[in-house]
Copies of this chain bind each other. A is one copy, B any other.
Amino acid sequence: MLEYGLIQTRGFTNVIENGRVTGFSVLLRMPNYRGAWGSLIDGADVTVDGKAFPRESVRWTLGGRTFTLDELQASTGVHWDLDAPAVVTVPLDGGLSAGVHEVAVTVLLRSPYIPAFALPLRFEDRRTCTIVPTGIGDDAGFRYGVSVYSLTGDINTVMTLEDAMADIADLGGSGVELLTQGIPGYPEPSAAWIDEWHRLCETYRLVPTNISSWVDNQMWRDRDLTVEEAAAQLERDLRLAHRLGFGYLRPKFGVISPELDPHPTWRETVLRNLDLAAELDVVLNPEIHSPTPIQHPVTQNYVRFIEETGTEHVKLLIDTGIFQTELVTDGHPGFDEDEVPAFLRPLKTPMSDLAEVLPHVGFVQSKFFEIDDQLHDLHVPWADILRTLHDGGWSGWLSSEYEGRREPYRGREQLRRHHALLRTLAADLDRTAR
């Protein structure tokens, strides 16, 4: 699906030709109801951060063919369809800087059935768009991915799963996280869905990273799951994870306290699945999530379990919300603003705790809530987190998980900002390491 506005989030990027950055491109949705012949396009006025680019310099790509404005106006049979964005490329030596830009576009169209005095039609849009740095090698040893949870609300309404995966590839990510219960037909998705999943992973060159799974211990009102039932839920999801190509599975158990103490059957549930996890080579990584910090019995119990069993297939998933320094109240429909539950209050877990537990960390769910126009995160200290991971020699997935406000399209733009921030910090780490 295309975005409702003229200017699209996806595809705002610097253009590299012969190893040199020669400009930037932006994707535009056809703003007129019927589409238009290329010859009826009178150009686009593009302004970025107040700098206007001449209409005549812009190149247009429609249906895979690229044109100057003159060529487009003389063309026959070239059509800007309603379902396919035009790629507008603007020459600019060195391109745009990484980060957030104010972009304004006016598209001009003629239409022969409209009287000449009313032409050209003008279609305007203005918004912020983000350039994600694409420096190869500047990764500080981490791998970068996205959880589709970031696009909650958007998927199935204004985006398809394919849109989500195209977005991830477009922002330079190489890993994708899913939720078991978000899969159509769960717990038994169709073979067609599974084939399509593999096709999408291949098309967008994405590695399935972690799948978030639940053991819903208290799924009925009158009794809890037995250990057998709980173990069967986990087994089913482990097999599904493996079938979809995931190397990590986050099991989330029912809780029995406000501090998220897991249901007492958790230990036996995991124990019964350890051999299967090893056989399928899927790591089970319980989530360390606010309000449970690292120095907490719940987390320490997981660590003890790992050490006692000696398993290689249980690790910790760190949700970076535990490092949060400022309160966030929005993004949680279902709670009143006045009754902020404990698990939304900033924990400010110290970096020394992360360093200490690092050998047991398998996966980092890079939870965030808001990145502003200057690429500052208002709640989570990314520079500290990345330095701690880097200094501890940790390498693995940083999987962005946006959990801020849920207006349509907000998540997809915030993900670009988050990746721009992470990649900028990673480049700094790489530079100081050299």
Contacts and interface: CB of A to CB of B under 8 A. Distances in A.
A256 to B, nearest CB: 8
Main secondary structure of the interface of A (DSSP, over half): loop
Contacts of A94: none
B157 A4 contact: yes
Interface string A246-280: 00000011110110100100000000000000000
A258 B155 CA distance: 45
A40 B182 contact: no
B1 A157 contact: yes
Given A33-B179, A187-B79, A334-B123, A115 B219 contact: no
Interface string A144-165: 0000010011011110100000
Given A113-B252, A115-B258, A152-B33, A79 B40 contact: no
A185 B77 CA distance: 11
B82 A216 contact: no
Interface in A187-239: 187, 212, 214, 216-221
A214 B32 CA distance: 14
A110 interface: yes
A31 B1 contact: no
Given A73-B220, A157-B29, A214-B113, A186 B255 contact: no
Most chain B Cβ neighbours within 10 Å, of A2, A32, A118: A118
Contacts of A258: 115, 117
A266 B217 CA distance: 73
A74 interface: yes
A4 B1 CA distance: 14
Contacts of A117: 258, 341
A136 interface: no
Of the four ranges (under 10, 10 to 19, 20 to 34, 35 or more), the interface on chain A belongs to 35 or more
A39 interface: yes
B255 A115 contact: yes
A184 interface: yes
Contacts of A31: 333
A95 B301 CA distance: 57
A58 B135 CA distance: 56
Contacts of A156: 1-2, 29, 82-83
A154 to B, nearest CB: 8
B157 A3 contact: yes
Contact of A82 (B79, B81, B155): B155
A29 B260 CA distance: 28
A82 B4 contact: no
A181 interface: yes
The 10 lowest CB-CB distance pairs between A and B, nearest first, are A112-B254, A121-B334, A33-B152, A112-B218, A34-B181, A35-B181, A115-B258, A4-B157, A83-B156, A113-B252
